[in-house]
Chain A
């Protein structure tokens, strides 16, 4: 079998782990795939490279392919989500100065934190987010819309510069993916207040994306890629593999990060404040368990709706989350499939058994902090 070379773009964050593991542990090679991982300097650069054909596939922030497909600014192109690469994994932190005004709050109490921030009054709160079309920004918007008097100024800052931005006082708070939250704590410039899952318990964070025409023309390569990444994700999410996964990721040239910076995200041991004990955050970052990699069409709908798309845009977005391809391409490798491809987002408050191809599977809670639910199934 001749190996197929596939150029895949990524941004060096902990949650690119499934791609790195697929490459390093040979899951890609087993599929006859040479997974050529190409680091990108920014999300806009990655997007352009994918749209213009310099990359075959890419890790993307989950709203990116949807924004591109609907044409919500940036570059318009039909880009599909083959699978979800990671669920959750982001943190919200505040500068030390702001933290001193917010004493007595429990970590992860999204409600109380919002009330405390709103009660401060005064100037708009400047919050750093890594990209405009990001789950970080959507969660920030969703969360703060519950406090209409709280004025937010969004500042886009590349994740690797977030720590400096907090230290320089350019932002009062930030919403960022690991390791950059932990870096800010280590450098003693910020305190983490909650994680992304305190606002939405099961938020699709990064996705594996490819151009629609590429997927159609290279269906076999797409299938190989999906199978390799699926197996890598399953491997990482197995608790006994975590120490080794951290070691491999730390040694990989693709991340160049110390194991101490990879550990919190993978184990959920989050240090919120310097010199404090780590907190154990359940489901801080998930790659595989609870059908984490399944591209629910309802997730796409939620994203499109909160990006400001009209009903047509929401329908279009649903079609870009290729649960059809996921079912088709991952058969025969021990992948359990949920019975449906849409769910009412936010309706699960506890772990819940649902029908699946093997009988039943356990879905993780997906509730929002305010208890709202979102049903995007057509009303007829």
Chain B
């Protein structure tokens, strides 16, 4: 039913782009094209003639895209979604999710809205996954550091593992720091001394 809408997604991250395209396809838009290489943006926009271009708000190539909207010599002229501030909720959701859309003039808002909502939802999920992934990586790193610090204490002071950890925790509490910070300081100091 929505097959007549042409959507271009500009996104260098492969996983993100797949997720967004899949979500759009699943929601009923099949005419979706993805573009990672900004060097082709100019030509792709001209050849593919999308109705909507979705791009990450943080992507510096937005300025290039915006220029193309000025340079297009057709009656169809793309405008930034944010030109249309009539839908404040949607604009805010887009800003918060980090998605920016360029929409060809003359499209009805009710046709743009579901596309954007799908993209925004997907952007939010991707962002969430990224931050969870980062948190998991960090937790793993932290555990390694704390293990190394415990090892140093066990070797140097003949402590058991529990005693070593308790000492780290006590020190952290008395200094108002986190266990990981104390562990980090200890590991760094030990590295310097060996």
Contact = CB atoms under 8 A, between A and B. Distances in A.
A158 B39 contact: no
A303 B83 CA distance: 22
A45 B57 contact: yes
A73 B82 contact: no
A41 B62 contact: yes
B165 to A, nearest CB: 35
B80 A44 contact: yes
A156 B66 contact: yes
Contact of B59 (A42, A51, A130, A131): A42
Contacts of A170: 39
Given A42-B59, A48-B80, A73 B42 contact: no
B67 A132 contact: yes
A13 to B, nearest CB: 12
A52 B91 contact: yes
Given A45-B57, A168-B39, A76 B83 contact: yes
Interface string A136-175: 0000000000000000001111101100010010100000
Contact of B100 (A45, A131, A155): A45
Contacts of A73: 69-70, 79
Contacts of B60: 41-42, 158, 160-161
B58 interface: yes
Contacts of A158: 60-61, 63-64
A156 B67 contact: yes
A131 B95 contact: no
Contacts of A132: 63, 66-67, 70
A168 B37 CA distance: 13
Contact of B83 (A54, A75, A156, A161): A75
A5 B6 CA distance: 43
B61 to A, nearest CB: 7
B89 to A, nearest CB: 13
Interface in A34-86: 41-45, 48-49, 51-52, 54, 73-76
A236 B90 CA distance: 43
A163 to B, nearest CB: 14
Given A131-B63, A156-B64, A158-B63, A41 B57 contact: yes
Nearest to B57: A45
Size class of the A contact interface (CB-based, 8 Å)? 20 to 34
B135 interface: no
A52 B83 CA distance: 11
A48 B95 contact: yes
Contact of B80 (A49, A75, A131): A75
B139 interface: no
A170 B68 CA distance: 15
Contacts of A49: 95
Contacts of B69: 73
A129 to B, nearest CB: 8
B129 interface: no
Contacts of B66: 44, 74, 131-132, 156
A154 B39 CA distance: 14
B71 interface: yes
Nearest to B91: A52
A155 B42 contact: yes
Most chain A beta carbons < 10 A, residue from B61, B67, B70, B95: B67
Contacts of A54: 95
Contacts of A74: 66, 80, 83
Nearest to A130: B63
A120 to B, nearest CB: 23
B64 A154 contact: no
A44 B56 CA distance: 12
A43 B63 contact: yes
B65 to A, nearest CB: 8
Interface of B: 38-39, 42, 57-64, 66-71, 79-80, 82-83, 85, 91, 95, 100
30 contacts: A41-B59, A41-B60, A42-B59, A42-B60, A43-B63, A44-B100, A45-B62, A48-B80, A49-B95, A52-B85, A52-B95, A73-B69, A73-B70, A73-B79, A74-B66, A75-B83, A131-B66, A132-B63, A132-B66, A154-B71, A155-B42, A156-B63, A156-B66, A156-B68, A157-B63, A158-B61, A160-B60, A161-B38, A161-B60, A168-B39
10 closest Cβ contacts across the A-B interface?
A: A156-B67, A158-B60, A42-B62, A44-B62, A41-B58, A42-B63, A42-B60, A156-B64, A132-B67, A44-B66
